[in-house]
Each structure stands twice: as structure tokens, then as C-alpha cells.
Amino acid sequence: MIRKERSKIPVKTLLLGQGTCCISAGAEQVYTALKREIAQLGMADSVQVKRTGLCHGFCQLDPVVIIEPEGLLYSEVKVDDVPEIARSFLPGERLVERLFYHSPVTGEAIPRYRDIAFYQRQQRTVLKNCGYIDPEEIDDYLTNGGYQALRQVLLEMTPEQVIKQVKDSGLRGLGGAGFPTGRKWESCYQAAENEKYVVCNADEGDPGAFQDRSILEGDPHSVLEGMIIAGYAVGAAQGYIYVRAEYPLAVKRLRSAIVQAREEGFLGEDIFGSGFGFDIEIFPGAGAFVCGESTALVLSIEGKRGMPKPLPRPRTTEVGLWNKPTLLNNVKTFAAIRWIINKGADWFSSIGTKKSKGTAIFSLTGKTVNCGLIEVPMGITLREIIFGIGGGIPDNKKFKAVQTGGPSGGVLPESLLDTAIDFDSLTAAGSMMGSGGMVVVDEETCMVDLARYFLDFTQKESCGQCSLCRLGSLQMLEILTAITKGEGRMADIDLLIELGEGIKIGSLCGLGQSAPNPVLSTIRYFRAEYEAHILMQQCPAKRCKALISYYIVPDKCTGCTACQRQCPVNAITGDRKKIHVIDQNKCTRCGICLSVCPERFSAVESVPGRLVSGD
């Protein structure tokens, strides 16, 4: 296939990410302004301003401008900065140093993004093209090796060979459960039916995870290519992508990618003249976390309530969509396929650990200095991710725990920071890989409240058919809520464990079976915090309103009346220039006094536990 050549090769390329995060930070406006400004300066031929689907994952610095070939990075660029940036490309002009990323440790400017700690320890494999290519231009994907794996598969390989290669690579499902991908493909391939389907699970429902969205926004063709290859391998002619409706940009880019792939003949009849035909449709999910479960997802596409089918039942690879054998994989799994074909199974299996091959993609968020989308080899430790890539905890706060696997996972405390990450080690520690959310929490997060937060989520997202999940998550939520309100009993902790274990064993689907994990793991590692809530009536993290107090430090209060005027319940007494006092009986712990107390005084403090007036 001959691609059209660009008439002039630009000297410099400016990459501007246009993902959901980037756009919300103003990347669109910066792009337009930069393009205009460069044109006005007559440099349109030498300086190319290029939109990419995504930033380089360091979402927190958005909008980011990357300058290639040097690999320079400007962070938090505003429209006002654009003229200066544009002028800097004129002969003899200097780079805009103030926009470089500055090390939070030393304060020095780091011009090249490769030198930034956030990128140094990453191994971007599946995400390689994210942030480099324009997802709405298939040409860009093609010049970066796109659809070569498909070509190779269709023209040179048998389905059996493709499956063998995927099996040999050791790839495991990156949607959470970690089922060996090759075995799944084989099982679907062996199913004796003419009609089969390939379904891509892009129903990324885990709160705190956005890797699937990022890949769909940044490199949608890689997912399509993986699906077409899968279709060839298992013998399916139709694929569906089940994508959350909350991801409008991802849906839009997928749609345009599908249209372009059809125009170029990568989708449709007789692809590459191989006789193999395949097409893909998008199914926008309507919002149900449980539809991440395979049978629920299938029911949802069929237009039914997504209530998972209880075991024992046939596997989806045997009886799936419209009762036909169906291969269901996650976005990341499909996106990894082209690289396995291109670079070989050995290359892939050389990355990672003995049982978990390849890379893991995480959404690193929460209380870390650097947040964003990261890709690391399996086997890296949590410490390397959080303190290396993530840069540690901001504002001199103390690391408390890291939550992985979303509502199905658990928390891991400091003592487990040197755990090497893979599917099995995380599960053994009481958490799980899940779909790759990684939320770091510091001393200001209450672990009881965090467990309560997740149970509130599962309780709302439970499909409702199974008594253990529906009523069990509700019961656990009620108990946790009581504890955060200071109404807990000491027996509650053991009761939570007992309930949790029973619900794990007996629930109908993966949602219920993993719903107790956040509770069990917080009790396992932070039992003292539960006990403080119950016995001492204190929330050590000062999060649970009912178990904290606000207090005006007499030595610091200057009597400015700021808090007194703002207090909604008139709980603060004290005249101008006189020390103010909070009436603890009236106080509703709304925290307004703390936020309005001028910083130079900082007289209002929150303390764990309930003070009695007169203390």
C-alpha cells in the first residue's frame, strides 16, 4: 500500500495532546492559538503543530507541548504563553525556560521529558503510540507500523499459528482477572459453531481508572487491529466494542477510526485479499459497573438488563453473544496484540515476571506528586511506582496506603511497598490488579471512610439479583457508616470479616465475590483505625465529621471575627480582638471556620475525637 508523502518535512514537530484531560485543561485553545501564531510568523512549513490523541500520560501537567525531535516538554501551557513559544522557534531565539517542568525536589528545570522521573522508569510498550500519533488520521497510524501485524497475520499465518504466538507470549487478560489470553482464544477457536463474535470490553467502570479511555482516545486503531486479528484467529466475522457512554471523546474517535479503517480496506470483506472479512460496531454502554462482567456485558449488548448469569454455566467462549461463541477481551489486551505479532512472543515474554508477562498499565492518581497514565514492566515494585514515577507524596504528608483494583481490590500499606507487582502477588496481598486503577492515599485519608466509599459504590452497582451481594454490600455499608458516625460496636469488626468472607465465597459473580475486598484489606492492615473510631470515638485522619472537632488555638487567635461571621450555626463566640471559642455542642463540623481563618493566623485546627465544650 502506498501512502502519500508529505511535501515538506518539518524541522520541528510540536505535539499537543487532545485527550479528555488535556481538553479540560484548555489544550484545544492552545492548539488553535499555536497553529495560528506559527502560521503568522511564516513558519508553517518548518514547524508542524500536530494534534495527538493524548498527552504523554503526565495528565497533571496538561496542557503539555512536546517539541520533537529534541523531546522538550513545556508544561501547563496557557494561551497567553503561545506567542512566546512561537517566537522561540525563530532563528536566534531562546527556549521558554519558565515553561519547562521543574523538579519538585531540587526546583531545577528539566527540559527533556525523558529526564523527568515520571517517564524514566516507565516502559511504554502498548502505549508507545499514545501521545505521538493523531488518532483521527489513519495515515499517522500506518506510518508508525500500523496494520502491519494484521497484514502478516492474514497473509502469512494460520489461525493456529496466531493463537500459538499469543499463548507463547504469556499475555494475560489485562481487564483484571488475568486469564491467559491465548487459552481463551483457543477455547473460542475450538468452539464448534460457524457464527462467532469478538467483543472488546471498554466498559471501564472502575472509579479511579482511565487507561482504557486513554488508549481509545490516543490510539484507537491499535484496538481495532487487535480485534481483527482476534477475529481471524477464532473465526469470527463481527466485532463489537462495548464502550461507556461517559467517554464521549473515545466514542467519537473510535467511530472515525472505524470509518477510516473501512475506507482503507482493513475492515470489511476480503481484507488484504486474504478472503477473510471482519467488521466492527460500537455499542455505547449505558452505565452499569457490573457490565464489566462477561455475561452481563453480553446481555447488555443484547438489549437486556446486565444481570450476570450464575455459575455453573458454559463459558462465554462457548455460549456468548446471541448464544454464539464469543471472545471477550479488554481494550489493553487487544492493544497489546499487534506488538506481540510485530515483535514476537519471545520479546513480549522477556518483559515481566515468571507468571505475569509484559507490561502493566496503571492510572496513577490520588495523593502523589505526579499523577497520570503509566506503563511499567510487570514485577516493578509499588515503591518504584509511587516514589519513583509518582514522585512521592506532596505537601510533606505521609504515605498511608495504595489502593489497586478499584472496588474489587484492596489497600496495601507501607510494609508492602516492596511487593513486586503482578497478578498473583497483588491477589495474595488481599488486593488485585483489577483494570489498573492505582490510587495513593496519605495520612489525611480515613481507611474506614475509604472502605465505606467503596461499599457505597458496590451497593449501588450491584445488579440486585443475588442476595449475598445486594444485601451483603448494604449490610456492610450500614455497619461502616455507623462506625464513621461513632455508632460502631467492637463486635462489628469481626462481623464485617465474617460477612465479607461469606459474601466472597457465596456471591453470584465477580462483583459480589470481590466487593468485600476493600473492607477486609483495610481491617487487615489498619485495624487500629477501626478501633479508634469505635473505642476512642476518634477519626485519626480527621475525615469523619462525627468524630472530629474544630478548635481555636487561643494563642493564635487574634479575634478577627472572620470565622464568627461565617459560622452557619452561630457556634463561635468572641468579640473583635478577643479570643474566639467554638461551642462544641452547637458545632456541626462543617469546617467553614477552618477554611476562612486567614492563613497568617491559622488559628483554627481540626482534632480527632469529640471535644466537650470547656476543654
Partner 1 sequence: MERVRDILTGYTGKRHELVPILQEIQTELGYLPEEALVMIATFTGIPESEAFAIATFYSQFRLTPTGRNRVMVCRGTACHVKGAPQILEEIENYLNIKEGETTPDLEFTLESVACIGCCALAPCIMVNNKDVHGRLTPKRVRGIFSDSKGKEQDTS
Partner 2 sequence: MRKITFVINGRKIETNERNTILRASLAHGIYIPHLCDHPDLTPFGGCRLCVVEIEGRGLTISCKAPVEEGLVVQTETPVINKVRRIAAELLIVNHHAECLQCVRNTECKLQDIAAYIGIEADHLQRLRQTAGDHPIDNSNPFFIRNPNKCVLCGICVRTCEEINGVRVLDFAFRGYETKISTLMNKPINESVCESCGECVVRCPTGALIIKDYQRPDRVVTTICPYCGTGCGIQLGVRGNKVVSVRGDRDNPINKGQLCVKGRFGYHFIDHPDRLTTPLIKRNGAFVKASWDKALELVATKFKEAQDRYGPEALAGLSSARITNEENYLFQKLLRCLGTNSIDHCARL
Residues that bind partner 1 (CB under 8 A): 20-21, 23-25, 59-60, 62, 204-210, 213-214, 245-248, 283-289, 300-306, 363-367, 371-373, 403, 406, 437, 439, 441, 445, 450, 453-454, 457, 461, 463, 595
CA distances (Å), origin 6, targets 10, 14, 139:
9, 16, 11
Report the residue number, 100 or 362, with the smaller CB distance to partner 1.
Answer: 362
What is the smallest separation between the CB atom of 531 and partner 2, expressed in angstroms?
A: 17
What is the smallest separation between the CB atom of 25 and partner 1, expressed in angstroms?
A: 7
3-state SS track over 199-268: EEEECCCCCCCCHHHHHHHHCHHHHHHHHHHHHHHHCCCEEEEEEECCCHHHHHHHHHHHHHHHHCCCCE
User: What Rg value do the Cα atoms of the chain yield, rounded?
Assistant: 27
Q: In the chain, count H helices and then E strands.
A: 23, 19
CA distances (Å), origin 426, targets 237, 418, 567:
37, 11, 46
Report the residue number, 55 or 340, with the smaller CB distance to partner 1.
Answer: 55
Q: Please, which residues bridge with residue 373 across strands? A: 363
What is the smallest separation between the CB atom of 604 and partner 1, expressed in angstroms?
A: 16
Report the residue number, 370 or 462, with the smaller CB distance to partner 2.
Answer: 462
Report the residue number, 6 or 305, with the smaller CB distance to partner 2.
Answer: 305
What is the smallest separation between the CB atom of 109 and partner 1, expressed in angstroms?
A: 22
Selection from partner 1, partner 2, none that 213 binds (CB < 5 to 8 A by kind) is partner 1
What is the smallest separation between the CB atom of 408 and partner 2, expressed in angstroms?
A: 16
Selection from partner 1, partner 2, none that 374 binds (CB < 5 to 8 A by kind) is none
Round to whole Å and give the CA distance between 213 and 437: 12
Task: Pick the stretch among 242-250, 343-351, 501-509, 579-587 that binds partner 2 (CB under 8 A).
Answer: 501-509
Q: Per rule CB under 8 A, is residue 299 in the interface with partner 2? A: no
C-alpha cell at 167: 499463548
Among residues 202, 235, 240, 228, the alpha carbon closest in space to that of 325 is found at 235
Among residues 435, 450, 442, the alpha carbon closest in space to that of 404 is found at 435
What is the smallest separation between the CB atom of 483 and partner 2, expressed in angstroms?
A: 11
Round to whole Å and give the CA distance between 188 and 564: 69
Among residues 425, 479, 416, 489, the alpha carbon closest in space to that of 451 is found at 479
Selection from partner 2, partner 1, none that 367 binds (CB < 5 to 8 A by kind) is partner 1
Report the residue number, 65 or 166, with the smaller CB distance to partner 1.
Answer: 65
Rule CB under 8 A: choose which of 199, 215, 223, 288 binds partner 2.
288
3-state secondary structure (DSSP) of residue 73: strand
Selection from partner 2, partner 1, none that 498 binds (CB < 5 to 8 A by kind) is partner 2
The amino acid occupying position 558 is: T
Selection from partner 1, partner 2, none that 478 binds (CB < 5 to 8 A by kind) is partner 2
Round to whole Å and give the CA distance between 406 and 413: 16
Selection from partner 1, partner 2, none that 283 binds (CB < 5 to 8 A by kind) is partner 1
Among residues 311, 317, 270, the alpha carbon closest in space to that of 298 is found at 317
C-alpha cell at 439: 490510587
What is the smallest separation between the CB atom of 535 and partner 2, expressed in angstroms?
A: 17
Here's the x/- map for partner 2, 450-489, by CB under 8 A: it reads as ---------xxxxxxxxxx-xxxxxx--xx--x-------
The amino acid occupying position 356 is: S
Report the residue number, 441 or 582, with the smaller CB distance to partner 1.
Answer: 441
Rule CB under 8 A: choose which of 99, 117, 153, 499 binds partner 2.
499
Round to whole Å and give the CA distance between 103 and 605: 31
Round to whole Å and give the CA distance between 380 and 575: 58
Q: Please, which residues bridge with residue 438 across strands? A: 364, 404
Selection from partner 2, partner 1, none that 502 binds (CB < 5 to 8 A by kind) is partner 2
Residue 381 neighbours by CB under 8 Å, 6+ apart: 417, 418, 419, 420, 421
Report the residue number, 38 or 469, with the smaller CB distance to partner 2.
Answer: 469
What is the smallest separation between the CB atom of 471 and partner 2, expressed in angstroms?
A: 4
**Please, are residues 324 and 196 in contact by the beta-carbon 8 Å criterion?**
yes
Task: Pick the stretch among 27-35, 98-106, 349-357, 496-504 that binds partner 2 (CB under 8 A).
Answer: 496-504
Selection from partner 1, partner 2, none that 508 binds (CB < 5 to 8 A by kind) is partner 2
3-state secondary structure (DSSP) of residue 532: helix
Round to whole Å and give the CA distance between 507 and 82: 56
Residues engaged in binding partner 2 (CB under 8 A): 288, 305, 307, 309-313, 459-468, 470-475, 478-479, 482, 491-492, 495, 498-499, 501-503, 505-508
